[in-house]
Amino acid sequence: MPVVAVFGPTASGKSAAALELAEAIGGEIVSCDAMQLYRGLPILTNQPSAEEQARVAHHLVAVWEPEHEGSVAEYAELAHAAIDDVLARGHTPIVVGGGGLYLRAALAPLRLPPAPADGQRDRLEAEYDRLGPDAAHALLAERDPRAAAAVHANDRRRVVRALELAEMGETLAPAQSELWEADPRHPVTILGLDVPRELLRERIAARTQAMFAAGVEDEVRAAIEAHTFSSTADRIHGLSDVRALVQGEIDREQAQRQLIDRTRQYAKRQAVWMRRIPGLRAVPGGEPLLAHL
């Protein structure tokens, strides 16, 4: 098949499994991890090592500076070009990541919601601040109950975006059929790593501890001293926790605990995404992907 996609929660072993598969079938890896797009934080974003990239070609890793205001639309253009290039050279693109939206953007034309009208976001941000989180969220619940159910009241950015879309007759939380309605650009087999919850929790804790042992604190300190982070880069998973440590707001034990908790919550959301992907083939954790193609 022309394209293989490997999806799964963080710490499920996607990278190692995809690397093994790529070596077995002559594939090249195309990342659909939004965090790995940014340079300067290879430990925090769990980017492939130089040795791994020497073993198998990787695409769309460390392509944006932290100042860059990225978007899923821009990523889609890069991913389509990378996949087409790999295919043109007679190799198999292996799309790897745990973000459902970016996976979809890599594989098919994605119907993206419209940008806000001039002044619309400023107006709604001011309204959010005036009303407060709970009242703003209640307003969203009146206008778009599905989006309100998917967004926490304290998530100012997403509440405002959901209100923007509601005013335009769109929604932040489309039904599965709307999100996955477009056919993929190339035939694709999607493999989803299915790891027991308790094992995943243990792996997340172990990986977080390994990140700190590898120097993630120094990495983040150097990055925030050298760069002004865009709003998209500023949402890199774990950045807020390690930055709080670097700035002396919390100690290392608290930073690790917060990051472990956030990562476990993130893994739960990724597992929900995995259940929504049509045609996905579940692969028990530890089994070779090649056996499921």
As a whole number, mean pLDDT of residues 64-73 equals 91
Query: Where do the structural domains in the chain lie, given as residue ranges?
Result: 3-110+182-292, 120-176
Give the pLDDT score at 177.
Answer: 45
As a whole number, mean pLDDT of residues 150-175 equals 86
Residue 43 has pLDDT above 80, yes or no: yes
Residue 247 has pLDDT above 80, yes or no: yes
Give the pLDDT score at 272.
Answer: 84
Give the pLDDT score at 135.
Answer: 95
Look up the pTM and report it: 0.82
For residues 92 and 4, is the Cβ–Cβ distance under 8 A?
yes
List beta partners, residue 242.
none
The CATH class for the domain spanning 120-176 reads mainly alpha
As a whole number, mean pLDDT of residues 260-288 equals 89
Instruction: Determine what percent of the chain is predicted with pLDDT higher than 90.
Output: 74
Quick: pLDDT tens for 179-213: 555 689 999 999 999 999 999 999 999 999 999 99
The CATH class for the domain spanning 3-110+182-292 reads alpha beta
For residues 42 and 66, is the Cβ–Cβ distance under 8 A?
no
As a whole number, mean pLDDT of residues 147-166 equals 90
